[in-house]
Structure 1
Amino acid sequence: MIVKMRFLNISGPRDDIDRVCEKYLSKYEMQIENAVTELKTTENIMPFVEVNPYREPLAKAEQFAQLLPEDREIRADLSESKDDMLALIRDLNHDYLGLMEDRERLKLKKEELLGKENVLKPFSSLKVDVHKALQYQYMQVRFGRISLDYYRRLEKYLADSLNAIFLEAGKDKGFVYGCYIAANADIAKVDNTFRALHFERIDVTDAYIGTPKEACEKLDQDIEAVQKDIDADEDKITALMKRNAAKLLGARKRLQELADNFDIRKLAARVASEDERDEFYILCGWMSEKDVDALLAETQDDDKISIMVEDERDQYFGDPPTKLENPKVFKPFEMFIKMYGLPAHDEMDPTMFVALTYTFIFGAMFGDLGQGFCLFAIGGILYLTKKINLAGIISIAGIFSMFFGFMFGSVFGFEDIIEARWLRPVSAMTNLPFIGQLNTVFVVAIAFGMALNILVMIFNIINSAKAHDKENMLFSTNGVAGLVFYGFLVLTVVLYMTGHKTPGNVMLVIFLGIPVLLFVFKEPLGNLVEKRHKKMEGGRVMFFVQAFFELFETMLSYFSNTISYVRIGAFAVSHAAMMEVVLMLSGASAGSTNWIIFVIGNIIVCGLEGLVVGIQVLRLEYYEMFSRFYKGTGREFKPFHKQSE
């Protein structure tokens, strides 16, 4: 069902807008429109330019709430006043920034220590006291690394003429780490030689005591101590937030409400005056009729608020938004409607129609008592726990699958467990005049399609009447003319196939010929009944050529649209045939069932064919039914507080 909407204008003193938003509008769903745009003819109208003062503390409250442990027992404390909440956020922010500053300082210190450790680690195997070695009076020590290729050449220099000693510490990724020692008199020559061999100096200071290994152990201890201080700061932050958890959660909730209410100013307008005390605000938007009545009743004694309801607003300022309200069992199917497009305010809501036809056709195409129960159970569990709309649709479709499985006598493909209450899709046949023998489910599927086509034509006539579109209602291929033509054609076919006497030639001319003429002259007749003065474009010849091809397309669409429903019977037959294959592969047909293959086969058929059938039924809904009566040009109703969320 489409909820009836009404347009409101709400006004009052400018400084009273927050009270109105908090006391009244927060209770009701209202789609607020931009008042400056809507009321552009009003004099002295201006937008609000105030900055929302609650967004920054709300952001802090959100940040602090993320630091709380996941504890469902914590309940929000909503007893604090607005000033107390803002003071709480300020105090928490002050303490939090102090702890964060100390933690960042410790992190920098840790990174510095890690950097020193990374410098010393490659030299851990050296048995050299770093502090003493760098303080030698007559010798110089240089730490660094050299690539393996140049290291071989270095060994030759050391063996031949270079007055230096190289102490190797280890190898890593193509480099040799170590240090060389040379006398003060030779250090310049040695440095030049090592530099020529691309020796990379690594700066090791004399601040380390003991060997590199001992220095690394001392650095590890320092790093561990700093990390403990960092963890302590994090524990202090968590404890700080936990002590104020209830008040913090309450502040977050309350600040969100205050921020959302203040944001209404973005869509509100103010009427300027020389005296600011005389300025007033204007809010306008759509609200359901039920909420409008409740709001008017609640505000009747409030002299600071003025509400004006404009019942004919849609005739002058656009169509109202669409809000769907259906029983819970049909609620999941609103997903299909939104995928296609919401109905306009003067259209019928097709949700219930889609729910009934979709599940019924799905069950006929996927008729199996066992597999239907699996769809019903799994879909129902997912819908109840996860609120997945598609799972709810699958669950309801599973009920109809169980029904048709019972009628077909099929349980997980077995057709000897229960008797078929109606027919077996594969073997049931019907003799028809002119055609001969044809599968019964195909005949029933086409007859069902004819009935649906007639029904959706009636829907189109209703929608056209609600939209005051007389041309489409009377002369279109899906209007009264189309209903008479197609209905009489269906009646003739049914009488012929059942062996009854068909209508005479005169009736055929009347009930088929006159609608065809209405199809051809739809545009001029529409101009006549709508009292439009419109000239024929392109001349008479072009008009009749275009009318001929449109008529040909119409007849083709009637035929293709009807035949399209054969897929219902085709999938019912193919499902039974596929399950016969599964039973054969699992050995069930021979009496010795391999249950693993049987279960896997059922899962594959249930998953794969269920997906294909679901898509095919949706195609029938959209292309064969919706195209005849439904436009889906409505816009969704978006209450302001939901937009904020």
Structure 2
Amino acid sequence: MPLPEAVAPVRMERVAIVAPEAVLRDAVMKLSGLVDIDRTDEELEKVVAGAVRRGEVAALAGWCPAEERPAIAAALAEVGAAMVPMRAPRGVDPPTLLRGTGTVRRSFTPLVSTYGTVPYQDVDPTLLAGAAYVLMFGMMFGDAGQGLLLVAVAALLRTWSRLARWRSAWPFVAGAGAASTLFGVLYGEFFGPTGVVPAVWVDPLEDPVLLLGAGVAAGAVLLAAAYAVAIVNRWREGGPRLAVYAASGIAGAALFLGIAGVAGGLLLHADLVVVGGAVTAVAGLVLAGVGFAAESGGGAAGVAQAVVQLFDIVIRTGSNLVSFARLAAFGLVHAAIGSVVWLGTTALAGHGVAGVGAAVFLFLLGNALAFSLEALVAAIQALRLEFYELFSRVFEIEGRPFRPWYGEAR
């Protein structure tokens, strides 16, 4: 499947279902679960009664997936009805149906659908959103041992029949577990600082500043990706003008890159980077200011509103970037809890047989509590960052979900 098609919602076509009055009822039944009829979520008799009639012929309008139209038309032909392509009404967007092919995509789809319905013309960010989520979760829940437990949970979801209702979530859980295992190896954490795996990159408690910087840097990369998708969406929604001047378009992206450049230049003591970042940020502010002024309608009140909005976008952009420091902060909390449990375990283990038994109990209980509490916290915080920092840029409008009519004779 070509990339542009793979990252877009299912293409819809506006269609009319035309049938002789005598077979209209049978034709409508053929559409159950396939076509979003304009008169949806109603009883069969009401749908039939709402058809447009010309003599002995009746018609209903709706939307169907373009790739499904030949099969639906063939099914209608069996009862003497037909499906006719129509021109979409001006100013009316088709309903959105995200692609459900692929186990991984289906597992990540609730991340997007929980936030809202993707507009029909926008990019479908399902796979990108899933990858970003598991990355953020893994950074906050970095423990190789507990990550492997999550992978084991994913295996149970996939294979155990009693968990069949949650089976579709197994790739999501497996991805989160794999990311946690990877970061656990980088941190040297295996059910705490047990020494089973050495710290390949950094010990969170030994160098928290490095970890905090890495969290902000990871957030900068994710925000840059969100701006890239948002620019494409603004272009599709309103053309090049909206893509350039929108706060989530090129204007906002330039401001973000400029602020990141200034911060990075100051950190690295690179004057040219600071100057380049400042120029880029000013250019972004100018573009955003033009957009805000045009949106406000001009005049003194419009200029004042634009100034307030410019101040707001600067504050929000900086705070959104810093917000990703929580990736490191919660990773530090997780490491600290693991360290406390391990210190208590080793202290008890040196007091004879009873001490060893108490140490084993503390180790199991402490890790069970850390696993349950920290997994919940990391899951919530990753979702918070996904929705408020990333999706708030990617989406500015909401689409209408594809709701095929389901009915049965009554």
Shorter-chain TM-score category? 0.7 to 0.9
Matched, 1:419 2:198: yes
Per-residue Cα deviation, 1:94-149 (whole angstroms, up to 9, x for no partner): xxxxxxxxxxxxxxxxxxxxxxxxxxxxxxxxxxxxxxxxxxxxxxxxxxxxxxxx
Q: 1:87-486 maps to which residues of 2 (within 5 A)?
A: 263-268=43-48, 269-270=50-51, 278-296=55-73, 304-310=80-86, 312-316=87-91, 318-326=92-100, 327-382=102-157, 384=159, 385-388=163-166, 393-428=172-207, 439-486=209-256
Rounded Cα–Cα distance in structure 2 between residues aligned with 1:643 and 1:421 = 61
Rounded Cα–Cα distance in structure 2 between residues aligned with 1:369 and 1:525 = 53
Rounded Cα–Cα distance in structure 1 between residues aligned with 2:20 and 2:202 = 74
Secondary structure in structure 1 of the residue aligned to 2:36: strand
Rounded Cα–Cα distance in structure 2 between residues aligned with 1:562 and 1:509 = 17
Match of 2:67, as an amino acid? K
Identity %: 26
Indicate conservation of the 8 Å contact 1:360/1:397, yes or no: yes
- 1:639–1:588 CA distance, 2 compared to 1 (3 A): farther
Match of 1:474, as an amino acid? V
Match of 1:33 among 34, 38, 49: 38
Indicate conservation of the 8 Å contact 2:157/2:169, yes or no: no
The structure in which a higher percent of residues are helix is 2
Indicate conservation of the 8 Å contact 1:314/1:320, yes or no: no
Matched, 1:17 2:18: no
Match of 2:333 among 571, 574, 591: 574
Match of 2:83, as an amino acid? I
- 1:411–1:393 CA distance, 2 compared to 1 (3 A): same
- 1:280–1:535 CA distance, 2 compared to 1 (3 A): same
- 1:622–1:535 CA distance, 2 compared to 1 (3 A): closer
Rounded Cα–Cα distance in structure 2 between residues aligned with 1:604 and 1:632 = 41
- 1:488–1:535 CA distance, 2 compared to 1 (3 A): closer
Structure 1 length as normaliser, TM-score?
0.56
Match of 1:611 among 367, 376, 385: 376
Q: What's the CA shift for 1:621?
A: 0.5
Rounded Cα–Cα distance in structure 1 between residues aligned with 2:132 and 2:247 = 22
Q: 2:5 is matched with which residue?
A: none
Q: 1:629 is matched with which residue?
A: 394
5+ long unaligned stretches in structure 2 = 1-7
Q: 1:8 is matched with which residue?
A: 15
5+ long unaligned stretches in structure 1 = 36-259, 430-438, 527-533
Q: What's the CA shift for 1:559?
A: 1.3
- 1:636–1:270 CA distance, 2 compared to 1 (3 A): closer
Match of 1:387, as an amino acid? R
Match of 2:307 among 548, 559, 566: 548
How many correspondences in the alignment?
Answer: 390
Q: What's the CA shift for 1:509?
A: 6.2
Match of 2:361 among 589, 593, 596: 596
Per-residue Cα deviation, 1:455-480 (whole angstroms, up to 9, x for no partner): 21111110011112544311123211
Q: What's the CA shift for 1:638?
A: 1.9
Matched, 1:641 2:406: yes
- 1:329–1:520 CA distance, 2 compared to 1 (3 A): same
- 1:270–1:440 CA distance, 2 compared to 1 (3 A): closer
Indicate conservation of the 8 Å contact 2:224/2:253, yes or no: yes
Rounded Cα–Cα distance in structure 1 between residues aligned with 2:274 and 2:109 = 46
Secondary structure in structure 2 of the residue aligned to 1:6: strand
Per-residue Cα deviation, 1:42-75 (whole angstroms, up to 9, x for no partner): xxxxxxxxxxxxxxxxxxxxxxxxxxxxxxxxxx
Rounded Cα–Cα distance in structure 1 between residues aligned with 2:26 and 2:149 = 53
Q: What's the CA shift for 1:582?
A: 1.0
Indicate conservation of the 8 Å contact 1:344/1:633, yes or no: yes
Secondary structure in structure 1 of the residue aligned to 2:254: helix
Rounded Cα–Cα distance in structure 1 between residues aligned with 2:278 and 2:171 = 49
Indicate conservation of the 8 Å contact 2:121/2:237, yes or no: yes
Structure (1 or 2) with the larger CA radius of gyration: 1
Q: What's the CA shift for 1:359?
A: 0.5
Rounded Cα–Cα distance in structure 2 between residues aligned with 1:466 and 1:344 = 10
- 1:599–1:522 CA distance, 2 compared to 1 (3 A): same
What RMSD in Å do the two structures reach over aligned CA positions? 2.9
Secondary structure in structure 2 of the residue aligned to 1:421: coil
Q: 2:3 is matched with which residue?
A: none
- 1:412–1:577 CA distance, 2 compared to 1 (3 A): same
Rounded Cα–Cα distance in structure 1 between residues aligned with 2:374 and 2:278 = 45
Q: What's the CA shift for 1:32?
A: 1.7
Match of 1:494 among 264, 271, 275: 264
- 1:489–1:560 CA distance, 2 compared to 1 (3 A): closer
Rounded Cα–Cα distance in structure 1 between residues aligned with 2:56 and 2:226 = 54
Indicate conservation of the 8 Å contact 2:96/2:401, yes or no: yes
Indicate conservation of the 8 Å contact 2:24/2:81, yes or no: no
Match of 2:85, as an amino acid? V
Q: What's the CA shift for 1:571?
A: 1.1
Matched, 1:519 2:265: no
Q: What's the CA shift for 1:280?
A: 2.2
Match of 1:601, as an amino acid? G
Q: What's the CA shift for 1:297?
A: 5.5
Q: What's the CA shift for 1:303?
A: 9.6
Rounded Cα–Cα distance in structure 2 between residues aligned with 1:267 and 1:2 = 27
Per-residue Cα deviation, 1:605-625 (whole angstroms, up to 9, x for no partner): 000111111101100011111
Match of 1:625, as an amino acid? L
Q: What's the CA shift for 1:486?
A: 2.0
Q: What's the CA shift for 1:333?
A: 2.1
Q: What's the CA shift for 1:383?
A: 5.3
Rounded Cα–Cα distance in structure 1 between residues aligned with 2:180 and 2:53 = 65
Rounded Cα–Cα distance in structure 1 between residues aligned with 2:279 and 2:270 = 20
Rounded Cα–Cα distance in structure 2 between residues aligned with 1:398 and 1:588 = 30
Indicate conservation of the 8 Å contact 1:583/1:589, yes or no: no
Secondary structure in structure 2 of the residue aligned to 1:329: helix
Indicate conservation of the 8 Å contact 2:145/2:190, yes or no: yes
